[in-house]
């Protein structure tokens, strides 16, 4: 079983959350609640990994989780 970090981005205007998977470029999803967003992320990651495998592409592994920082400008 592989583990991937997901980033949940609140969508204040539309509601819900967008979800990014930094280790899997192009793997995006969303959900109305955090629970739904995480369930959708699990499904999107599975589909993304199956597509990579089907096309003979390497399966990326997350070596270290991304770091989060806030910068004032």
Per-residue pLDDT tens over the stretch 35-56: 999 999 999 999 999 999 999 9
pLDDT tens, residue by residue, 2-38: 899 999 999 999 999 999 999 999 999 999 999 999 9
Residues in contact with 41: Cβ distance below 8 Å, sequence separation at least 6, in sequence order: 6, 19, 21, 29, 31
- Going through 1-73 in order, the beta strands assigned E by DSSP cover 7-10, 17-20, 28-31
Question: What's the pLDDT at 62?
Answer: 92
Instruction: Write the CB contacts of 39 (distance below 8 Å, at least 6 apart in sequence).
Output: 31
Q: By the 8 A CB rule, do 49 and 60 touch?
A: no
pLDDT at position 61: 92
Predicted model pTM: 0.89
């Amino acid at each position: 079983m592989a583990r991937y970090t997901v980033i949940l981005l609140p969508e204040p205007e539309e509601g819900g959350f967008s979800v990014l998977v930094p280790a899997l470029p192009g793997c995006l999803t969303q959900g109305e609640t955090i629970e739904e967003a995480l369930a959708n992320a699990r499904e999107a990651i599975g589909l993304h990994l199956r597509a990579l495998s089907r096309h003979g592409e390497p399966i990326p592994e997350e070596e270290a989780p991304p770091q989060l920082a806030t910068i004032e400008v």
